[in-house]
Chains A and B, each alone.
Chain A
Protein backbone atom coordinates (compact mmCIF):
# COMPACT_ATOMS: atom_id res chain seq x y z
CA UNK A 1 0.00 0.00 0.00
CA UNK A 2 1.27 3.47 -0.88
CA UNK A 3 0.30 5.44 2.23
CA UNK A 4 0.36 8.87 0.60
CA UNK A 5 -1.55 7.79 -2.48
CA UNK A 6 -3.95 5.31 -0.89
CA UNK A 7 -4.61 6.71 2.58
CA UNK A 8 -3.62 10.36 3.04
CA UNK A 9 -6.45 12.78 2.14
CA UNK A 10 -8.94 9.94 1.65
CA UNK A 11 -12.47 10.38 2.99
CA UNK A 12 -13.25 8.61 6.26
CA UNK A 13 -16.57 6.82 6.57
CA UNK A 14 -17.84 5.48 9.89
CA UNK A 15 -19.91 2.36 10.48
CA UNK A 16 -23.12 4.39 9.98
CA UNK A 17 -21.93 5.58 6.54
CA UNK A 18 -21.38 9.09 7.89
CA UNK A 19 -18.49 11.23 6.50
CA UNK A 20 -15.99 11.91 9.30
CA UNK A 21 -13.63 14.16 7.36
CA UNK A 22 -10.43 13.26 5.55
CA UNK A 23 -7.17 11.72 6.68
CA UNK A 24 -4.99 14.75 7.37
CA UNK A 25 -2.00 12.90 8.77
CA UNK A 26 -0.60 9.54 9.82
CA UNK A 27 1.20 8.59 13.03
CA UNK A 28 3.96 6.02 12.61
CA UNK A 29 5.86 4.01 15.15
CA UNK A 30 9.48 3.50 14.20
CA UNK A 31 11.11 0.89 16.47
CA UNK A 32 14.82 0.04 16.53
CA UNK A 33 14.47 -3.56 15.49
CA UNK A 34 11.00 -3.58 13.99
CA UNK A 35 9.56 -2.38 10.73
CA UNK A 36 7.89 1.06 10.87
CA UNK A 37 4.12 0.73 11.19
CA UNK A 38 1.19 3.11 11.08
CA UNK A 39 -0.45 3.39 14.49
CA UNK A 40 -3.04 6.13 14.05
CA UNK A 41 -4.89 8.26 11.50
CA UNK A 42 -5.15 11.98 12.28
CA UNK A 43 -8.21 14.04 11.36
CA UNK A 44 -8.73 17.76 10.90
CA UNK A 45 -7.43 21.06 12.18
CA UNK A 46 -3.80 21.62 13.16
CA UNK A 47 -2.36 18.59 11.34
CA UNK A 48 -4.00 19.70 8.15
CA UNK A 49 -2.83 23.33 8.27
CA UNK A 50 0.66 22.27 9.30
CA UNK A 51 0.98 20.68 5.90
CA UNK A 52 0.86 24.17 4.39
CA UNK A 53 3.04 25.84 7.04
CA UNK A 54 3.85 25.00 10.69
CA UNK A 55 2.77 28.51 11.74
CA UNK A 56 -0.70 27.87 10.31
CA UNK A 57 -0.84 24.64 12.29
CA UNK A 58 -0.01 26.51 15.53
CA UNK A 59 -2.57 29.21 14.71
CA UNK A 60 -5.25 26.60 14.03
CA UNK A 61 -4.41 24.89 17.32
CA UNK A 62 -4.70 28.20 19.25
CA UNK A 63 -7.98 29.18 17.54
CA UNK A 64 -9.39 25.70 18.11
CA UNK A 65 -8.87 26.09 21.86
CA UNK A 66 -10.54 29.50 21.96
CA UNK A 67 -13.57 28.92 19.75
CA UNK A 68 -15.92 26.15 18.67
CA UNK A 69 -15.87 22.73 20.37
CA UNK A 70 -12.51 23.61 22.05
CA UNK A 71 -10.57 20.42 21.56
CA UNK A 72 -7.14 20.16 23.12
CA UNK A 73 -5.84 17.29 21.05
CA UNK A 74 -5.99 16.21 17.43
CA UNK A 75 -8.52 13.50 16.65
CA UNK A 76 -6.62 10.20 16.48
CA UNK A 77 -8.12 6.96 15.22
CA UNK A 78 -6.15 3.76 15.94
CA UNK A 79 -5.22 1.93 12.74
CA UNK A 80 -6.82 -1.21 14.19
CA UNK A 81 -10.21 0.42 13.50
CA UNK A 82 -9.54 0.62 9.78
CA UNK A 83 -11.82 -1.87 8.05
CA UNK A 84 -11.03 -1.27 4.39
CA UNK A 85 -8.95 1.13 2.31
CA UNK A 86 -10.41 1.68 -1.13
CA UNK A 87 -12.26 4.58 -2.68
CA UNK A 88 -12.77 5.76 0.92
CA UNK A 89 -11.29 4.60 4.22
CA UNK A 90 -13.98 2.69 6.12
CA UNK A 91 -13.73 2.64 9.88
CA UNK A 92 -15.29 0.41 12.49
CA UNK A 93 -16.16 3.32 14.80
CA UNK A 94 -19.09 5.62 15.46
CA UNK A 95 -18.01 9.02 14.12
CA UNK A 96 -19.70 11.05 16.84
CA UNK A 97 -17.81 9.20 19.58
CA UNK A 98 -14.37 9.91 18.11
CA UNK A 99 -14.49 13.72 18.19
CA UNK A 100 -14.15 13.91 14.40
CA UNK A 101 -17.67 15.31 14.13
CA UNK A 102 -17.37 17.83 16.98
CA UNK A 103 -17.39 20.77 14.58
CA UNK A 104 -20.33 19.35 12.59
CA UNK A 105 -22.33 19.01 15.82
CA UNK A 106 -21.18 22.39 17.17
CA UNK A 107 -22.27 24.24 13.99
CA UNK A 108 -25.59 22.35 14.01
CA UNK A 109 -26.34 23.08 17.67
CA UNK A 110 -25.08 26.67 17.82
CA UNK A 111 -26.17 27.98 14.41
CA UNK A 112 -28.26 25.76 12.14
CA UNK A 113 -30.82 24.53 14.69
CA UNK A 114 -31.58 28.15 15.65
CA UNK A 115 -32.77 28.92 12.11
CA UNK A 116 -36.40 27.85 11.45
CA UNK A 117 -36.52 24.69 9.33
CA UNK A 118 -32.96 23.71 10.23
CA UNK A 119 -34.13 20.53 11.98
CA UNK A 120 -32.35 18.82 14.80
CA UNK A 121 -28.96 17.19 14.58
CA UNK A 122 -29.93 14.51 17.12
CA UNK A 123 -33.09 13.31 15.33
CA UNK A 124 -32.61 10.05 13.50
Chain B
Protein backbone atom coordinates (compact mmCIF):
# COMPACT_ATOMS: atom_id res chain seq x y z
CA UNK B 1 0.00 0.00 0.00
CA UNK B 2 2.89 2.30 0.90
CA UNK B 3 4.55 1.57 -2.46
CA UNK B 4 1.29 2.31 -4.36
CA UNK B 5 1.05 5.63 -2.56
CA UNK B 6 4.68 6.38 -3.39
CA UNK B 7 4.11 5.49 -7.05
CA UNK B 8 1.04 7.73 -7.24
CA UNK B 9 2.84 10.58 -5.57
CA UNK B 10 5.89 10.02 -7.81
CA UNK B 11 3.77 10.17 -10.95
CA UNK B 12 1.83 13.22 -9.78
CA UNK B 13 5.03 15.07 -8.88
CA UNK B 14 6.62 14.15 -12.21
CA UNK B 15 3.58 15.53 -14.05
CA UNK B 16 3.42 18.64 -11.88
CA UNK B 17 7.15 19.21 -12.19
CA UNK B 18 7.43 18.62 -15.93
CA UNK B 19 6.31 21.93 -17.40
CA UNK B 20 8.46 24.97 -16.82
CA UNK B 21 9.29 28.18 -18.61
CA UNK B 22 11.43 26.39 -21.22
CA UNK B 23 8.84 23.86 -22.30
CA UNK B 24 6.03 26.44 -22.31
CA UNK B 25 7.99 29.10 -24.24
CA UNK B 26 9.38 26.71 -26.84
CA UNK B 27 6.03 24.96 -27.33
CA UNK B 28 4.13 28.25 -27.63
CA UNK B 29 6.57 29.64 -30.20
CA UNK B 30 6.61 26.35 -32.14
CA UNK B 31 2.82 26.07 -32.19
CA UNK B 32 2.33 29.71 -33.18
CA UNK B 33 4.75 29.50 -36.10
CA UNK B 34 4.59 25.90 -37.34
CA UNK B 35 1.22 24.59 -36.10
CA UNK B 36 1.39 20.91 -35.13
CA UNK B 37 4.56 20.33 -37.16
CA UNK B 38 6.89 20.43 -34.15
CA UNK B 39 5.11 17.90 -31.98
CA UNK B 40 7.68 15.26 -32.88
CA UNK B 41 10.61 16.79 -30.93
CA UNK B 42 8.40 16.73 -27.81
CA UNK B 43 7.62 13.06 -28.47
CA UNK B 44 11.27 12.14 -29.14
CA UNK B 45 12.51 14.19 -26.17
CA UNK B 46 9.93 12.65 -23.83
CA UNK B 47 10.83 9.09 -24.86
CA UNK B 48 14.51 9.91 -24.32
CA UNK B 49 13.72 11.50 -20.94
CA UNK B 50 11.73 8.44 -19.80
CA UNK B 51 14.81 6.28 -20.41
CA UNK B 52 17.19 8.79 -18.77
CA UNK B 53 15.06 9.25 -15.66
CA UNK B 54 14.59 5.50 -15.29
CA UNK B 55 18.38 5.07 -15.59
CA UNK B 56 19.06 7.80 -13.00
CA UNK B 57 16.78 6.10 -10.48
CA UNK B 58 18.18 2.64 -11.26
CA UNK B 59 21.77 3.81 -10.82
CA UNK B 60 20.93 5.29 -7.41
CA UNK B 61 18.87 2.29 -6.26
CA UNK B 62 21.45 -0.33 -7.27
CA UNK B 63 24.80 1.39 -6.68
CA UNK B 64 23.74 3.90 -3.97
CA UNK B 65 25.62 6.47 -6.03
CA UNK B 66 24.13 9.60 -7.51
CA UNK B 67 25.09 10.34 -11.12
CA UNK B 68 27.58 12.97 -9.97
CA UNK B 69 29.25 10.62 -7.45
CA UNK B 70 29.73 8.03 -10.14
CA UNK B 71 30.84 10.61 -12.71
CA UNK B 72 33.65 11.90 -10.47
CA UNK B 73 34.77 8.44 -9.39
CA UNK B 74 34.71 6.83 -12.80
CA UNK B 75 36.11 9.66 -14.94
CA UNK B 76 38.32 11.55 -12.46
CA UNK B 77 38.50 15.18 -11.42
CA UNK B 78 39.66 16.89 -14.66
CA UNK B 79 36.75 15.47 -16.67
CA UNK B 80 34.31 16.09 -13.84
CA UNK B 81 35.45 19.71 -13.70
CA UNK B 82 34.70 20.28 -17.39
CA UNK B 83 31.18 18.87 -16.95
CA UNK B 84 30.74 20.92 -13.75
CA UNK B 85 31.59 24.19 -15.51
CA UNK B 86 29.35 23.45 -18.51
CA UNK B 87 26.46 22.19 -16.41
CA UNK B 88 26.64 25.13 -14.00
CA UNK B 89 26.66 27.73 -16.78
CA UNK B 90 23.70 26.23 -18.61
CA UNK B 91 21.74 25.48 -15.42
CA UNK B 92 22.39 29.03 -14.20
CA UNK B 93 20.84 30.43 -17.39
CA UNK B 94 17.87 28.12 -16.99
CA UNK B 95 17.50 29.30 -13.38
CA UNK B 96 17.48 32.94 -14.55
CA UNK B 97 14.79 31.98 -17.06
CA UNK B 98 12.67 30.21 -14.42
CA UNK B 99 12.88 33.09 -11.95
CA UNK B 100 11.99 35.39 -14.85
CA UNK B 101 9.00 33.15 -15.59
CA UNK B 102 7.74 33.56 -12.02
CA UNK B 103 8.34 37.32 -12.29
CA UNK B 104 6.38 37.49 -15.54
CA UNK B 105 3.51 35.50 -14.04
CA UNK B 106 3.38 38.00 -11.17
CA UNK B 107 3.60 40.86 -13.66
CA UNK B 108 0.55 39.45 -15.47
CA UNK B 109 -1.35 39.15 -12.17
CA UNK B 110 -0.36 42.48 -10.61
CA UNK B 111 0.77 44.79 -13.41
CA UNK B 112 4.07 45.42 -11.62
CA UNK B 113 7.04 44.88 -13.98
CA UNK B 114 9.00 41.62 -13.62
CA UNK B 115 12.36 43.24 -12.67
CA UNK B 116 10.70 44.36 -9.43
CA UNK B 117 9.83 40.76 -8.65
CA UNK B 118 13.34 39.40 -9.18
CA UNK B 119 14.53 39.92 -5.63
CA UNK B 120 11.35 38.91 -3.72
CA UNK B 121 10.92 35.79 -5.87
CA UNK B 122 14.57 34.78 -5.47
CA UNK B 123 14.32 35.39 -1.75
CA UNK B 124 11.22 33.20 -1.48
CA UNK B 125 12.88 30.38 -3.46
CA UNK B 126 15.93 30.62 -1.20
CA UNK B 127 13.78 30.75 1.96
CA UNK B 128 11.97 27.53 1.03
CA UNK B 129 15.31 25.80 0.51
CA UNK B 130 16.76 27.28 3.69
CA UNK B 131 13.85 26.23 5.92
CA UNK B 132 12.13 23.47 3.92
CA UNK B 133 12.76 19.76 3.56
CA UNK B 134 13.32 17.69 0.43
CA UNK B 135 9.78 16.26 0.58
CA UNK B 136 8.27 19.73 0.85
CA UNK B 137 10.17 20.87 -2.24
CA UNK B 138 9.62 17.66 -4.21
CA UNK B 139 5.96 17.17 -3.39
CA UNK B 140 4.66 20.63 -2.48
CA UNK B 141 5.93 22.53 -5.50
CA UNK B 142 5.03 19.75 -7.91
CA UNK B 143 1.51 19.33 -6.53
CA UNK B 144 0.90 23.04 -7.06
CA UNK B 145 2.30 22.55 -10.57
CA UNK B 146 -0.69 20.33 -11.35
CA UNK B 147 -2.53 23.52 -12.28
CA UNK B 148 -0.63 23.15 -15.60
CA UNK B 149 -3.20 20.47 -16.48
CA UNK B 150 -5.37 23.44 -17.44
CA UNK B 151 -3.33 23.55 -20.70
CA UNK B 152 -4.83 20.17 -21.64
CA UNK B 153 -8.33 21.51 -20.93
CA UNK B 154 -7.58 24.55 -23.11
CA UNK B 155 -6.24 22.42 -25.98
CA UNK B 156 -9.31 20.12 -25.95
CA UNK B 157 -11.73 23.06 -25.73
CA UNK B 158 -10.21 24.52 -28.90
CA UNK B 159 -11.26 21.34 -30.81
CA UNK B 160 -7.97 20.25 -32.36
CA UNK B 161 -7.65 18.30 -35.58
CA UNK B 162 -6.55 14.88 -34.27
CA UNK B 163 -5.26 13.62 -37.62
CA UNK B 164 -3.11 16.77 -37.90
CA UNK B 165 -1.76 16.07 -34.42
CA UNK B 166 -0.95 12.48 -35.37
CA UNK B 167 0.97 13.60 -38.46
CA UNK B 168 2.85 16.19 -36.37
CA UNK B 169 4.29 13.35 -34.33
CA UNK B 170 6.42 12.35 -37.34
CA UNK B 171 9.35 14.56 -38.45
CA UNK B 172 8.69 16.64 -41.57
CA UNK B 173 10.55 19.54 -43.17
CA UNK B 174 8.81 22.92 -43.47
CA UNK B 175 8.42 24.81 -46.77
CA UNK B 176 10.13 27.91 -45.42
CA UNK B 177 11.98 29.18 -42.31
CA UNK B 178 14.10 26.03 -42.12
CA UNK B 179 16.68 27.64 -39.79
CA UNK B 180 13.99 28.76 -37.36
CA UNK B 181 12.40 25.30 -37.53
CA UNK B 182 15.76 23.72 -36.68
CA UNK B 183 16.37 26.15 -33.83
CA UNK B 184 12.93 25.53 -32.34
CA UNK B 185 13.44 21.75 -32.66
CA UNK B 186 16.72 22.05 -30.77
CA UNK B 187 15.17 24.30 -28.14
CA UNK B 188 12.24 21.91 -27.60
CA UNK B 189 14.63 18.97 -27.22
CA UNK B 190 16.71 21.03 -24.78
CA UNK B 191 13.62 22.00 -22.80
CA UNK B 192 12.41 18.39 -22.63
CA UNK B 193 15.68 16.53 -22.02
CA UNK B 194 16.96 18.65 -19.13
CA UNK B 195 20.00 17.06 -17.46
CA UNK B 196 19.23 18.86 -14.20
CA UNK B 197 16.13 16.62 -13.89
CA UNK B 198 18.42 13.57 -13.87
CA UNK B 199 20.72 15.01 -11.21
CA UNK B 200 17.71 16.03 -9.12
CA UNK B 201 15.99 12.65 -9.53
CA UNK B 202 19.05 10.54 -8.66
CA UNK B 203 19.82 12.75 -5.63
CA UNK B 204 16.17 12.42 -4.57
CA UNK B 205 16.43 8.63 -4.80
CA UNK B 206 19.41 8.75 -2.42
CA UNK B 207 17.65 11.25 -0.10
CA UNK B 208 14.65 8.86 -0.03
CA UNK B 209 17.00 5.88 0.58
CA UNK B 210 15.97 3.78 -2.41
CA UNK B 211 17.26 0.23 -2.76
CA UNK B 212 16.85 -2.48 -5.41
CA UNK B 213 13.24 -3.12 -4.38
CA UNK B 214 12.41 0.32 -5.82
CA UNK B 215 13.44 -0.62 -9.39
CA UNK B 216 9.92 -1.57 -10.59
CA UNK B 217 8.46 1.53 -8.90
CA UNK B 218 11.13 3.68 -10.52
CA UNK B 219 10.19 2.30 -13.94
CA UNK B 220 6.49 3.10 -13.43
CA UNK B 221 7.17 6.62 -12.16
CA UNK B 222 9.59 7.41 -15.00
CA UNK B 223 7.28 5.93 -17.64
CA UNK B 224 3.94 7.35 -16.59
CA UNK B 225 5.17 10.58 -15.03
CA UNK B 226 7.22 11.68 -18.04
CA UNK B 227 4.56 10.53 -20.52
CA UNK B 228 1.88 12.64 -18.82
CA UNK B 229 4.39 15.51 -18.63
CA UNK B 230 5.07 15.19 -22.36
CA UNK B 231 1.32 15.31 -23.01
CA UNK B 232 1.18 18.62 -21.12
CA UNK B 233 3.92 20.09 -23.35
CA UNK B 234 2.06 18.86 -26.42
CA UNK B 235 -1.15 20.44 -25.12
CA UNK B 236 0.60 23.81 -24.88
CA UNK B 237 1.82 23.48 -28.47
CA UNK B 238 -1.61 22.40 -29.74
CA UNK B 239 -3.38 25.25 -27.92
CA UNK B 240 -0.81 27.73 -29.27
CA UNK B 241 -1.23 26.35 -32.79
CA UNK B 242 -5.01 26.85 -32.59
CA UNK B 243 -4.93 30.22 -30.84
CA UNK B 244 -2.08 31.93 -32.71
CA UNK B 245 -1.29 30.34 -36.06
CA UNK B 246 -4.61 31.19 -37.81
CA UNK B 247 -4.18 34.85 -36.79
CA UNK B 248 -0.50 34.91 -37.81
CA UNK B 249 0.63 35.95 -34.32
CA UNK B 250 4.30 35.29 -33.48
CA UNK B 251 4.71 35.15 -29.73
CA UNK B 252 7.57 37.27 -28.42
CA UNK B 253 6.31 38.24 -24.97
CA UNK B 254 4.75 36.49 -22.01
CA UNK B 255 1.53 38.54 -21.89
CA UNK B 256 1.00 37.52 -25.54
CA UNK B 257 1.43 33.87 -24.56
CA UNK B 258 -1.43 34.22 -22.07
CA UNK B 259 -3.76 34.60 -25.09
CA UNK B 260 -3.52 30.86 -25.72
CA UNK B 261 -5.53 30.25 -22.56
CA UNK B 262 -7.93 33.19 -22.91
CA UNK B 263 -8.93 32.01 -26.40
CA UNK B 264 -10.06 28.68 -24.93
CA UNK B 265 -11.21 29.81 -21.49
CA UNK B 266 -12.19 33.50 -21.81
CA UNK B 267 -13.25 33.90 -18.18
CA UNK B 268 -10.48 32.12 -16.25
CA UNK B 269 -7.82 31.57 -18.90
CA UNK B 270 -5.79 34.66 -18.09
CA UNK B 271 -5.49 33.81 -14.40
CA UNK B 272 -5.01 30.09 -15.04
CA UNK B 273 -2.12 30.86 -17.38
CA UNK B 274 -0.49 33.15 -14.82
CA UNK B 275 -0.96 30.65 -11.99
CA UNK B 276 0.27 27.74 -14.11
CA UNK B 277 3.42 29.67 -15.03
CA UNK B 278 3.88 30.87 -11.47
CA UNK B 279 3.80 27.40 -9.89
CA UNK B 280 5.57 25.59 -12.73
CA UNK B 281 8.49 28.04 -12.89
CA UNK B 282 8.71 28.30 -9.12
CA UNK B 283 8.97 24.52 -8.76
CA UNK B 284 11.56 24.37 -11.53
CA UNK B 285 13.62 27.17 -9.92
CA UNK B 286 13.71 25.16 -6.68
CA UNK B 287 14.73 21.99 -8.48
CA UNK B 288 17.47 23.69 -10.53
CA UNK B 289 18.97 25.50 -7.52
CA UNK B 290 19.03 22.20 -5.64
CA UNK B 291 20.48 20.34 -8.64
CA UNK B 292 23.38 22.84 -8.87
CA UNK B 293 24.09 22.56 -5.12
CA UNK B 294 23.91 18.74 -5.36
CA UNK B 295 26.33 18.77 -8.27
CA UNK B 296 28.98 20.73 -6.38
CA UNK B 297 28.52 18.89 -3.08
CA UNK B 298 28.48 15.39 -4.49
CA UNK B 299 31.36 16.10 -6.87
CA UNK B 300 33.61 17.45 -4.13
CA UNK B 301 32.44 14.97 -1.49
CA UNK B 302 30.87 17.53 0.86
CA UNK B 303 28.01 16.84 3.23
CA UNK B 304 24.70 17.35 1.46
CA UNK B 305 21.05 16.89 2.24
CA UNK B 306 18.15 19.27 1.87
CA UNK B 307 16.82 17.81 5.14
CA UNK B 308 19.84 18.93 7.22
CA UNK B 309 20.12 22.27 8.99
CA UNK B 310 22.14 24.69 6.76
CA UNK B 311 25.11 24.89 9.16
CA UNK B 312 25.44 21.09 9.10
CA UNK B 313 26.15 21.16 5.37
CA UNK B 314 27.37 24.70 5.06
CA UNK B 315 29.05 24.46 1.66
CA UNK B 316 25.92 22.91 0.15
CA UNK B 317 23.78 25.72 1.61
CA UNK B 318 26.33 28.33 0.51
CA UNK B 319 26.23 27.15 -3.13
CA UNK B 320 22.46 27.47 -3.49
CA UNK B 321 22.40 30.75 -1.58
CA UNK B 322 25.03 32.26 -3.90
CA UNK B 323 23.57 30.87 -7.10
CA UNK B 324 20.05 32.18 -6.35
CA UNK B 325 21.44 35.58 -5.41
CA UNK B 326 23.47 35.79 -8.63
CA UNK B 327 20.51 34.67 -10.74
CA UNK B 328 18.43 37.59 -9.46
CA UNK B 329 20.93 40.17 -10.76
CA UNK B 330 20.36 39.90 -14.54
CA UNK B 331 16.59 39.95 -13.94
CA UNK B 332 16.81 43.11 -11.83
CA UNK B 333 18.73 44.66 -14.71
CA UNK B 334 15.77 43.88 -16.99
CA UNK B 335 17.22 41.07 -19.13
CA UNK B 336 14.50 39.48 -21.31
CA UNK B 337 13.68 36.06 -19.77
CA UNK B 338 12.19 34.77 -23.04
CA UNK B 339 15.49 35.36 -24.88
CA UNK B 340 17.43 33.77 -22.02
CA UNK B 341 15.03 30.81 -22.11
CA UNK B 342 15.42 30.22 -25.83
CA UNK B 343 19.22 30.50 -25.72
CA UNK B 344 19.55 28.33 -22.63
CA UNK B 345 17.31 25.62 -24.08
CA UNK B 346 19.33 25.53 -27.30
CA UNK B 347 22.59 25.46 -25.31
CA UNK B 348 21.20 22.61 -23.21
CA UNK B 349 20.70 20.66 -26.42
CA UNK B 350 24.19 21.48 -27.67
CA UNK B 351 25.79 20.36 -24.41
CA UNK B 352 23.67 17.22 -23.96
CA UNK B 353 26.38 14.85 -25.24
CA UNK B 354 28.77 16.02 -22.50
CA UNK B 355 26.19 15.17 -19.84
CA UNK B 356 24.65 12.08 -21.40
CA UNK B 357 27.50 10.17 -23.08
CA UNK B 358 29.51 9.66 -19.84
CA UNK B 359 26.24 8.76 -18.13
CA UNK B 360 25.65 6.04 -20.73
CA UNK B 361 29.14 4.66 -20.02
CA UNK B 362 28.26 4.52 -16.32
CA UNK B 363 24.97 2.79 -17.05
CA UNK B 364 26.87 0.05 -18.90
CA UNK B 365 29.51 -0.39 -16.19
CA UNK B 366 29.18 -3.72 -14.35
CA UNK B 367 31.06 -2.26 -11.35
CA UNK B 368 28.15 0.10 -10.65
CA UNK B 369 25.17 -1.85 -11.93
CA UNK B 370 26.11 -5.51 -12.21
CA UNK B 371 23.24 -7.35 -13.86
CA UNK B 372 21.09 -4.21 -13.79
CA UNK B 373 23.12 -2.42 -16.46
CA UNK B 374 21.57 -1.05 -19.64
CA UNK B 375 20.33 -3.14 -22.50
CA UNK B 376 20.74 -2.23 -26.18
CA UNK B 377 17.27 -0.62 -26.41
CA UNK B 378 17.93 2.09 -23.80
CA UNK B 379 21.42 2.72 -25.16
CA UNK B 380 20.17 3.07 -28.73
CA UNK B 381 17.14 5.28 -27.98
CA UNK B 382 19.12 7.74 -25.87
CA UNK B 383 22.10 7.82 -28.28
CA UNK B 384 19.91 8.50 -31.32
CA UNK B 385 17.97 11.37 -29.71
CA UNK B 386 21.15 12.93 -28.28
CA UNK B 387 22.85 12.67 -31.68
CA UNK B 388 19.89 14.31 -33.48
CA UNK B 389 19.79 17.06 -30.88
CA UNK B 390 23.54 17.71 -31.06
CA UNK B 391 23.75 17.79 -34.87
CA UNK B 392 20.71 20.08 -35.14
CA UNK B 393 22.17 22.35 -32.44
CA UNK B 394 25.47 22.63 -34.32
CA UNK B 395 23.66 23.64 -37.49
CA UNK B 396 20.81 25.78 -36.22
CA UNK B 397 22.35 27.80 -33.37
CA UNK B 398 24.85 29.64 -35.65
CA UNK B 399 22.07 30.16 -38.23
CA UNK B 400 19.74 31.61 -35.56
CA UNK B 401 22.48 33.94 -34.30
CA UNK B 402 23.39 35.09 -37.82
CA UNK B 403 19.72 35.48 -38.77
CA UNK B 404 18.90 37.29 -35.50
Contacts and interface: CB of A to CB of B under 8 A. Distances in A.
Contacts of A11: 69, 73, 301
B306 to A, nearest CB: 14
Interface of B: 63-65, 69, 72-73, 76-78, 80-81, 130-131, 300-304, 309-315, 317-318, 321
Contacts of A37: none
A121 B77 contact: no
Given A22-B301, A51-B77, A87-B65, A9 B314 contact: no
10 contacts: A11-B73, A18-B303, A19-B301, A19-B304, A20-B301, A22-B300, A105-B314, A115-B310, A117-B130, A117-B310
A112 B309 CA distance: 10
Interface residues of A, number: 31
Given A51-B77, A107-B318, 5 more contacts: A19-B302, A21-B302, A22-B301, A104-B315, A112-B314
Interface of A: 4, 8-12, 18-22, 24, 48, 51-52, 87, 103-105, 107-108, 111-113, 115, 117-121, 123
A87 B368 CA distance: 9
B310 A118 contact: yes
Contacts of B303: 18-19, 104
Contacts of B310: 112, 115, 117-119
A113 B72 contact: no
B81 A52 contact: yes
B73 A21 contact: no
Contacts of A103: 315
A10 B78 contact: no
B370 to A, nearest CB: 13
A119 to B, nearest CB: 4
Contacts of B314: 104-105, 107-108, 111-112, 121
